A and B are shown apart, each in its own frame.
Chain A
Amino acid sequence: MTFRNFKWRNLYLWLVFIVLFPPIFFLVVYLFSQGTIMNNFHGFTWQHYQDLFADSRLIAIFLDTILIALLSSILATVIGTLGALGINSTTKPITRSTLLSLNNILMVSPDVIIGASFLIFFTALKIPLGFGSVLLSHIAFSIPIVVLMVLPKIQEMSSSLLDAAADLGANNWQLLSQIIVPYIMPGIFSGFFMALTYSLDDFAVTFFVTGNGFTTLSVEIYSRARQGINLEINALSGLMFLMALVLVIGYYFVNQYSSRHRRPKVRGRRK
């Protein structure tokens, strides 16, 4: 609180970071370690990656995971964006707040509840567990975040812009495709990236609805890790780490892009 104990506070922050980061470095370092257990670094090797790429089952799981992530986030982005447009056009405050609370239910529910209730739901509708059920649940739990990302952008848009377009003779489709969507594109992109991270990150919901035949990377890591350390998992985690990194960088650039386009606003908001 005063400058006297300046060093102590820095020390505390460093301590927090020292605890936060080793597990991540640890994962990265052991990706390339020789030997079969994670106790010492035994020298650099690509061996685990060779094992990994020789394992066609794992490659298939990897591709399935990416396919699910891409499909679910694209569909969730479309439905979520349309939903956000719909929520924005509601006129009664009560309808709006009800819709928003319903939207947030899946955001605050524990994963286990989402997984268990979806499992009952799919069984009740006799939807076979597997690719389809996993895809549907990933779309379902990604929609609310897309709505939350897109809605502020829509609210930012002034209605005079739409009125002007309508006055100049734009029809509904032109309004949507040439005015609204380009304007809210940064929000749509952030929503898409968040949906992608959710899908790649999810374990619990997938674990419930995956059935017997179909697996994603998280579920595979879980079932292998229960049997102890296996360096093929390290290679697998390397791949997931890389995916996360690519996503983060992508998200960062989208944010940069959108903030570059609204710099005056950002500056104005600062004190």
Chain B
Amino acid sequence: MQQKQRLSRSTAYFIPYMLWIVLFVIAPVLLLIYQSFFSINGQFTFANYQTYFSSSTYLMMTLNSVWYAFLITLATLLISYPTAYLLNETKHPQLWLLLIIMPTWINLLLKAYAFIGIFSQAGIANQFLSFIGIGPKQILFTNFSFIFVAAYIQIPFMVLPIYNSISELNTSYVNASRDLGATNWQTFSRVLFPLTLPGVRAGIQAVFIPSLSLFMLTRLIGGNKVITLGTAIEEHFLTTMNWGMGSTIGVVLIIAMVIIMWLTNGGKRRTRRGLK
């Protein structure tokens, strides 16, 4: 009786939220898919998909984008896993964790902007290189700087889920493996890593998907040399105004996202935004 009464009440205040789901979650995605079947002149066509899958430029761009996202994810993972492990061993892990998360509270654009200053011709990085005798180099607008800054931005989103799964791990497993005569490497590869895999998966998910679509970094730091799917979408929507083609790439990006979610769907899902 009581239960029923509560249910009937819920429908009234549930309306705005349901409206939000229909208008801002379902409708935009459907519209994006719908738009992808229209040419630049507004005619219904499959040409966008034909162009996409037959043009070597688009396919290379997609491959390139996935490759860079892979490199960024790999770099982030290689730095974050040991960091998360060592964080767990320190005396005040929560404090250190807070320090790791702190950079995410600063606007992405500001971080990119700081790196423009650091990597510029007369910036600190080049001053340091001159100081140790290598001499100034072109750092800004290279692939290296793009991967470096992207990894820099993503590290907290990788450290956090890995740290969570490491801290939940029962240390007696590691001790047991040690007692049974496993070497450090065996302990890591047979015990520690498999048990913390859910965290790694969540981290990869939180890093890989955004890395496919970081368009401001490719412009500000990568100097337009790296074109990611995100850059292409932005270009088609806001510069060439070819929304159909832009939506087609958007659909490809959504499919890529679904594939990654499906591949990494092992553990608890945490998203990059939710980690802040």
Interface residues of A (CB under 8 A from B): 1, 9-10, 12-13, 16-17, 19-24, 26-27, 30, 37-39, 78-80, 82-83, 85-86, 89, 91, 99, 102-121, 124, 136-137, 139-140, 143, 145, 147-148, 162-163, 166, 172, 194, 197-198, 200-201, 203-204, 207-208, 217-218, 221-222, 225-226, 228-229, 233, 237, 240-241, 244-245, 247-248
For the complex, would chain A's binding face be called helix, strand, loop or mixed by DSSP majority? helix
Is the Cβ of A229 less than 8 Å from the Cβ of B116? yes
Q: Which of A85, A107, A117, A139 contacts B274 (CB 8 A)?
A: A107
Given A120-B247, A237-B113: A208 touches B210 (CB 8 Å cut-off): no
Smallest beta-carbon distance B69→chain A, Å: 11
Binds A, one of B25-33, B40-48, B193-201: B25-33
**Interface contacts beyond A23-B114, A104-B269, A136-B24: sample of 11 additional A-B pairs, CB < 8 Å, sorted by A:** A30-B117, A83-B20, A86-B10, A91-B7, A110-B209, A111-B210, A112-B233, A120-B28, A140-B24, A145-B273, A222-B109
Is the Cβ of B209 less than 8 Å from the Cβ of A112? no
Specify which chain B residues have a CB less than 8 angstroms from the CB of A225 in the assembled complex.
109, 112-113, 116, 220
Specify which chain B residues have a CB less than 8 angstroms from the CB of A119 in the assembled complex.
237
Specify which chain A residues have a CB less than 8 angstroms from the CB of B6 in the assembled complex.
89, 162
Q: Confirm or deny: B213 has a beta carbon within 8 angstroms of a beta carbon on chain A.
A: yes
Is the Cβ of B107 less than 8 Å from the Cβ of A240? yes
Specify which chain B residues have a CB less than 8 angstroms from the CB of A20 in the assembled complex.
99-100, 103, 152, 155
CB closest chain-A residue, reference B26: A102
Is the Cβ of A143 less than 8 Å from the Cβ of B17? yes
Given A198-B273, A240-B107: A105 touches B117 (CB 8 Å cut-off): no
Interchain CA distance A204-B276 in the complex, whole Å: 17
Interchain CA distance A198-B106 in the complex, whole Å: 11
Specify which chain B residues have a CB less than 8 angstroms from the CB of A218 in the assembled complex.
107-109
Interface residues of B (CB under 8 A from A): 2-3, 5-7, 9-11, 13-14, 16-18, 20-21, 23-29, 31-32, 35, 79, 82-83, 86-87, 89-90, 96, 99-100, 102-103, 105-118, 120, 122-124, 127, 152, 155, 184, 187, 205, 209-210, 212-213, 215-216, 219-220, 229-230, 233-234, 237-238, 243, 246-247, 250, 253-254, 257, 261, 269, 271, 273-274, 276
Given A1-B187, A20-B103, A208-B237: A110 touches B257 (CB 8 Å cut-off): yes
Is the Cβ of B21 less than 8 Å from the Cβ of A102? yes
Q: Which of B26, B127, B213 contacts A113 (CB 8 A)?
A: B213
Most chain A CB neighbours (cut-off 10 Å) among B114, B205, B234: B114
Interchain CA distance A165-B8 in the complex, whole Å: 18
Specify which chain B residues have a CB less than 8 angstroms from the CB of A104 in the assembled complex.
269, 271
Interchain CA distance A203-B110 in the complex, whole Å: 11
For the complex, would chain B's binding face be called helix, strand, loop or mixed by DSSP majority? helix
Is the Cβ of A82 less than 8 Å from the Cβ of B16? yes
Specify which chain B residues have a CB less than 8 angstroms from the CB of A24 in the assembled complex.
102-103, 106, 111, 114
Interchain CA distance A111-B250 in the complex, whole Å: 11
Smallest beta-carbon distance A204→chain B, Å: 7
Is the Cβ of B253 less than 8 Å from the Cβ of A86? no
CB closest chain-A residue, reference B260: A108
Is the Cβ of A9 less than 8 Å from the Cβ of B89? yes
CB closest chain-A residue, reference B27: A121
Is the Cβ of B213 less than 8 Å from the Cβ of A13? no
Interchain CA distance A72-B108 in the complex, whole Å: 20
CB closest chain-B residue, reference A203: B109
Interchain CA distance A227-B186 in the complex, whole Å: 52
Q: Which of A38, A39, A120, A244 contacts B32 (CB 8 A)?
A: A120
Is the Cβ of B253 less than 8 Å from the Cβ of A113? yes
Interchain CA distance A80-B150 in the complex, whole Å: 31
Is the Cβ of B83 less than 8 Å from the Cβ of A12? yes
Specify which chain A residues have a CB less than 8 angstroms from the CB of B118 in the assembled complex.
22-23, 26
Smallest beta-carbon distance B100→chain A, Å: 7
Specify which chain A residues have a CB less than 8 angstroms from the CB of B114 in the assembled complex.
23-24, 26-27, 237
Smallest beta-carbon distance B130→chain A, Å: 12
Given A204-B216, A229-B116: A116 touches B25 (CB 8 Å cut-off): no
